[in-house]
């Protein structure tokens, strides 16, 4: 059955999109978690909904509208965050709500019947087109090149930003660059899991990898592999059971994370008891 499905173009597109999305998540997800920017990335993701609405309103590709607005919003968020003139949670809430509100307004201003936005909100990997794949490939290539070429700088920036600044690393530039990469990563994931569910794919694979690997490079690679498993597994489940693909991917991701967390906790508890018993002896 599996090899029969591979004959269909939309399945081939979905598999390629899964690999590209997982690559992006594996790289950016680790940085997001280490810098404690999970909710901030959620704010940027929801801001991109305004770009989707803007794209429909202007008659251009909605994903390009999402790219434009999410990058602009990420720059604005980073600027305000660095100035420290407002609390981070307030900033997230404002941009989160602003993006959803703008998207709703732009759609309401369109003449005729409003478009179906479910695929942008919740993902629809089975409807990914070749144009979507080309854009995702470009984003994945850009992020991979940026992270690999500046890897040592990223390590210093992630684990000790103050020390990195003292040693002459341009941390301001890296922070703006990071927010831009988060914004374009959201765009790469819109068609896979959607705006609302994007945070799960940023965090679940990285959290699992972080339980077993400490090296930054190892965690990025393993996170990408785990993310690919989630995407392909969710794709197979959604096609077999006829449920939304984005939801299937996220549910699989969360279930796997919880299972691994419980098993890892039990194993660590047993190891602690064994060490305690040996010390008592």
Q: Tell me the residue range of the domain where 245 lies.
A: 2-280
Percent of the chain with pLDDT over 90: 14
Query: Cα separation of 61 and 63, whole Å?
Result: 6
Q: According to the model, what pLDDT value does residue 14 have?
A: 84
Q: According to the model, what pLDDT value does residue 280 have?
A: 64
CATH number of the domain enclosing 28: 1.10.3470.10
CB atoms within 10 A of CB 146: 17
Query: Cα separation of 137 and 139, whole Å?
Result: 5
Question: What distance, in Å, lies between the first and last C-alpha atoms of the chain?
Answer: 57
Contact in structure between 70 and 107 (CB atoms under 8 Å): no
Give pLDDT tens digits for 115-149.
777 777 777 777 788 888 888 889 889 999 999 99
Structure tokens at 263: 């098993």
Q: According to the model, what pLDDT value does residue 260 have?
A: 93
Q: Structurally, how many domains does the chain consist of?
A: 1
- The mean pLDDT value for 33-40 works out to 86
């Amino acid at each position: 059955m599996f090899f029969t499905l591979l004959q269909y173009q939309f399945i081939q597109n979905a598999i390629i999109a899964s690999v590209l999305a997982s690559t992006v998540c594996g790289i950016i997800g680790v940085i997001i978690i280490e810098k404690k920017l999970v909710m901030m990335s959620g704010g940027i993701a929801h801001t991109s909904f305004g770009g989707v609405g803007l794209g429909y309103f202007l008659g251009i590709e909605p994903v390009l509208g999402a790219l434009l607005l999410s990058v602009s919003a990420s720059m604005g968020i980073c600027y305000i965050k660095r100035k420290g003139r407002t609390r981070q949670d307030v900033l997230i809430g404002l941009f989160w709500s602003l993006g959803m509100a703008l998207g709703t307004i732009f759609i309401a201003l369109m003449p005729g019947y409003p478009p179906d936005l479910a695929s942008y909100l919740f993902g629809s990997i089975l409807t990914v087109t070749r144009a979507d794949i080309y854009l995702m490939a470009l984003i994945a290539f850009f992020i991979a090149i940026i992270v690999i070429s500046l890897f040592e700088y990223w390590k210093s920036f992630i684990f000790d930003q103050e020390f990195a600044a003292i040693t002459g690393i341009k941390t301001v530039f890296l922070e703006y660059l990071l927010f831009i990469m988060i914004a374009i990563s959201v765009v790469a994931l819109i068609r896979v899991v959607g705006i609302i569910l994007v945070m799960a794919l940023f965090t679940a694979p990285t959290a699992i990898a972080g339980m077993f690997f400490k090296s930054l490079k190892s965690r990025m690679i393993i996170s990408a592999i785990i993310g690919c498993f989630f995407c392909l597994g969710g794709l197979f489940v959604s096609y077999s059971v006829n449920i939304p693909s984005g939801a299937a991917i996220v549910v699989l991701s969360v279930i796997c994370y919880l299972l691994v967390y419980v098993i890892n906790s039990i194993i660590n508890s047993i190891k602690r008891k064994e060490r305690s018993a040996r010390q008592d002896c």
